[in-house]
Structure formats: structure tokens, C-alpha cells
């Protein structure tokens, strides 16, 4: 009896001493006190030191795009740290180019705020807001792609340009034990500031797509923040070439909706690439746009059609369609959205047709 008591006491005592020691260390070594955060030389915040720059900024309601949730694997959360970020860490090196390093660009999720810090971020990031929105409707576009209509809280609005994206937070659910943010382009027109439409495809084992396809119901709350992105409609009179595959249709749809609402008189051609007729969606809507828009042509391209599909449209990939149909002349601009191989091969075809590289805007995913 005595022995058991002695053992317990000794063990508890020793553990308690170490716990006390660690608590003291946490309060002294781990405490960085309050530090000043200066953004773009104008906005000043006093924040608690010790956190990463990214999470400190989120606490101040400033959102830097980040897809991985601060783990240092996506490389999106770059900011320019002018003063007080400490040395560049080994975990950041794979994401930074030489030029970025000489401009003091850092990954904000890796850079710890330990002293007064001065940073520089693009002005439009101040426009980024966080919304606790609700799902208004979910429509199946194909068997693996859903159109999710999200209503922002009453009285709040989002100001975005056609082609920009928002980040959707995938919360914890059964089978997923980490919160992640994933980027989805807005498909609706910027005029409706209280709603946004997202086109979300199902990716097997994708954290956010599984959440949307299997767990999200009409009426549920969703957390989004945005808008982000430098892929958006450019206001000029050039002829437009729009190319999208799969869910890449979303930003193109937003651009077309914008053009329809504002009765913009520009010549535009939209190449929509897919594998089989089952992968195409909203065909009626795009055909209707051919009537409603000033000068709009819709070209669906299917790369894997067989006799059974009875397909009368173009057979082949989008870049083949561009090689075949597009005239060789300059002064046009192109908007591409889709996967990397598509963007690369289409860019090559467009450059061959005389479109300068800087006139090709794209959104890769």
C-alpha cells in the first residue's frame, strides 16, 4: 500500500515539476508580447506575437489566398515583407524564385511574427471579406459536377470582377480531420452582389469536393472568403477567344453573363472541351447566348466520342479546334481556364495563330 502511494506521489511530483517548468518557459520564451504590424505603410495593427503572419492577418480580417491552410505546401500565400520577418526559411525556398527573394517575398504561413513587422500586399486584398453564407440550391450539371448557389448574409455584399474566385472552407466531417480552403471560380455575374454560383466537380478523395458532393445540403452554412485572382474580364474592344474544360467553365460563364447584362458589343468565341457528351453541361444556355449576345459563337469539342454518341459537333481536343477554325490574325485576346496540359497546348496553338502571349489570360487548376 505504502509502496503504491509512494510510487504515485513520486511520479506525480516529478511530472508536476516539469509541467511547471514548461509553463514558465511558455510564458517567457514562448511569449513574444505585442508587436506592431504595418501594412502598405498606412494601416497599423497591434497584434499578439508568436503566430504565423498568415493567421495574424486572418485575425485582423485580412485574407491572403492560401489553399493548404498554412502548412507550407501550396505556395499561394506570398506577401512582401519589408521589415522584421527574419531570415527566409528552408521550407519556403521551393516556392520562391530568385526575383521574389530579392524583393523580400515570403510565404506568410511560414513567416512568424516575432517583432514589429512591415508588409506590403496588393490593395485589392483589403476588398477580400469572409462570409458565413448559406447554400440556396444545388443543381446537378453532370453526374460529377454540381452548380452550388450560395446566398450571402442579408445586407452583405461581395464586389468582384468576372473571372475571379473565392475560397470555400471545407470543415471537419467524418473521414476528414483537417480544415482546408479550396479555390472555386465564381460563375455568376458581378451584378448580383448577394449571391454567388460555384461549379464544383467531384474529385475522388478530394477533401473539399467530397464535402460539397456528399455532405453539403441546401440550407447548410458555408464559410467562404474572397474575391481573389488576377484572371478577370478586361475592358476593351478586342475580339475574345474563351476556352474552358470541365469546371473551368465557371469564370467563362461569369464573363459571358457580364457581357450579356451590360450588352457589350464584342465578338467572342467559346470553345468548351470535354470527353463525351455526358461531360458537357448548360448547352442550351450557351446556345441561347448565341442569340442574345452581340456576336457570340459556341464551339463544344469532344475528344472521346464514338459512333454511338451520334455527335455532330467538333471531334477532338480544344487545341485541335483552334488549329482548325481560328483565323491567323492579331489583336485578339484569349481567356483560358482548365488544367495545366490544356492551358499549355492551347496557348501554343493560340501563339501559332498570331495571338501575342501577353494577350492570353489564364487560370490554371
Partner 1 sequence: MIELNPFIIFLAAIFTNNMIFANFLGMCSYIAVSNEIPTALGLGQAVTFVLAITSVINYLIYDYILVPLQLEYLRFIVFIVSIAAIVQLLEMVLERYLPNLYYALGIFLPLITVNCAILGVSLFMIIREYTFMQSIGFSIGSGIGWTLAIVALAGIRQRIKNAPIPKGLEGPGITLIITGLMALAFVGFSGIVQIQ
Interface positions with partner 1 (CB under 8 A): 6-7, 10-11, 14-15, 18-19, 21-22, 25-26, 29-30, 32, 86-87, 89-91, 110, 112, 114
Identity of the residue, 24 or 172, whose beta carbon is nearer to partner 1 in the bound complex: 24
Under 8 Å between Cβ of 53 and 106? yes
Identity of the residue, 23 or 237, whose beta carbon is nearer to partner 1 in the bound complex: 23
Identity of the residue, 19 or 172, whose beta carbon is nearer to partner 1 in the bound complex: 19
Residue 106's Cβ-count burial label (10 Å; 0-12, 13-18, 19+) is buried
Identity of the residue, 20 or 218, whose beta carbon is nearer to partner 1 in the bound complex: 20
* Helix runs in the chain, H state only: 2-28, 53-59, 98-102, 207-210, 249-261, 283-292, 318-325, 340-352
Q: Which three cell numbers stand for residue 42?
A: 498606412
Identity of the residue, 35 or 293, whose beta carbon is nearer to partner 1 in the bound complex: 35
Q: Which three cell numbers stand for residue 47?
A: 497584434
Beta carbon of residue 9, minimum distance to partner 1 (angstroms, whole number): 9
Under 8 Å between Cβ of 354 and 330? yes
CA 317/CA 286 separation, integer angstroms:
19
Beta carbon of residue 88, minimum distance to partner 1 (angstroms, whole number): 9
Residue from 211, 191, 203, 167 nearest 69 by CA: 167
Beta carbon of residue 318, minimum distance to partner 1 (angstroms, whole number): 40
Q: Are strands 360-364 and 332-338 parallel, antiparallel or unpaired?
A: parallel
Beta carbon of residue 59, minimum distance to partner 1 (angstroms, whole number): 20
CA 232/CA 327 separation, integer angstroms:
24
Beta carbon of residue 6, minimum distance to partner 1 (angstroms, whole number): 6
Identity of the residue, 12 or 191, whose beta carbon is nearer to partner 1 in the bound complex: 12
Beta carbon of residue 113, minimum distance to partner 1 (angstroms, whole number): 12
Beta carbon of residue 120, minimum distance to partner 1 (angstroms, whole number): 22
The alpha carbon of residue 84 and the mean position of all alpha carbons in its chain are separated, in whole angstroms, by 28
Identity of the residue, 15 or 139, whose beta carbon is nearer to partner 1 in the bound complex: 15
Q: Collect all residues with Cβ–Cβ distance below 8 Å to 121 and sequence separation of at least 6.
A: 39, 40, 62, 64, 79, 80
Amino acid at each position: 500500500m505504502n509502496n503504491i502511494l509512494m510510487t504515485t506521489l513520486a511520479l506525480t511530483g516529478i511530472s508536476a515539476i516539469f509541467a511547471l517548468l514548461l509553463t514558465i518557459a511558455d510564458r517567457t520564451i514562448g511569449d513574444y508580447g505585442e508587436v506592431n504590424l504595418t501594412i502598405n505603410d498606412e494601416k497599423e495593427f497591434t497584434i499578439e506575437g508568436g503566430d504565423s503572419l498568415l493567421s495574424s492577418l486572418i485575425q485582423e480580417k485580412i485574407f491572403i489566398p492560401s489553399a493548404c491552410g498554412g502548412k507550407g505546401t501550396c505556395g499561394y500565400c506570398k506577401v512582401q515583407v519589408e521589415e522584421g520577418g527574419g531570415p527566409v526559411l528552408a521550407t519556403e525556398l521551393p516556392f520562391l524564385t530568385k526575383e521574389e527573394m530579392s524583393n523580400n517575398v515570403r510565404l506568410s504561413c511560414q513567416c512568424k511574427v516575432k517583432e514589429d513587422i512591415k508588409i506590403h500586399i496588393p490593395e485589392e486584398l483589403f476588398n477580400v471579406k469572409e462570409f458565413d453564407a448559406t447554400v440556396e440550391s444545388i443543381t446537378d450539371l453532370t453526374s460529377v459536377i454540381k452548380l452550388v448557389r450560395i446566398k450571402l448574409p442579408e445586407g452583405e455584399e461581395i464586389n468582384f470582377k468576372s473571372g475571379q474566385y473565392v475560397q470555400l472552407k471545407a470543415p471537419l466531417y467524418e473521414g476528414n480531420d483537417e480544415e482546408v480552403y479550396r479555390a472555386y471560380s465564381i460563375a455568376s455575374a458581378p451584378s448580383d452582389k448577394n449571391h454567388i454560383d460555384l461549379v464544383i466537380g467531384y474529385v475522388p478523395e478530394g477533401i473539399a469536393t467530397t464535402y460539397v458532393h456528399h455532405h453539403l445540403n441546401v440550407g447548410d452554412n458555408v464559410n467562404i472568403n474572397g474575391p481573389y485572382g488576377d484572371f478577370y474580364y478586361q475592358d476593351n474592344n478586342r475580339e475574345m477567344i474563351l476556352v474552358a474544360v470541365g469546371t473551368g467553365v465557371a469564370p467563362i460563364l461569369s464573363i459571358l453573363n457580364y457581357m450579356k447584362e451590360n450588352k457589350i458589343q464584342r465578338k467572342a468565341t467559346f470553345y468548351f472541351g470535354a470527353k463525351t457528351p455526358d461531360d458537357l453541361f448548360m448547352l442550351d444556355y450557351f446556345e441561347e447566348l448565341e442569340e442574345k449576345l452581340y456576336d457570340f459563337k459556341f464551339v463544344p469539342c469532344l475528344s472521346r466520342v464514338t459512333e454511338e454518341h451520334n455527335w455532330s459537333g467538333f471531334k477532338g481536343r480544344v487545341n485541335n479546334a483552334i488549329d482548325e477554325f481560328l483565323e491567323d490574325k492579331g489583336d485578339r485576346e484569349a481567356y483560358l481556364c482548365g488544367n495545366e496540359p490544356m492551358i499549355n497546348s492551347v496557348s501554343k496553338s493560340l501563339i501559332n495563330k498570331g495571338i501575342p502571349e501577353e494577350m492570353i489570360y489564364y487560370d490554371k487548376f
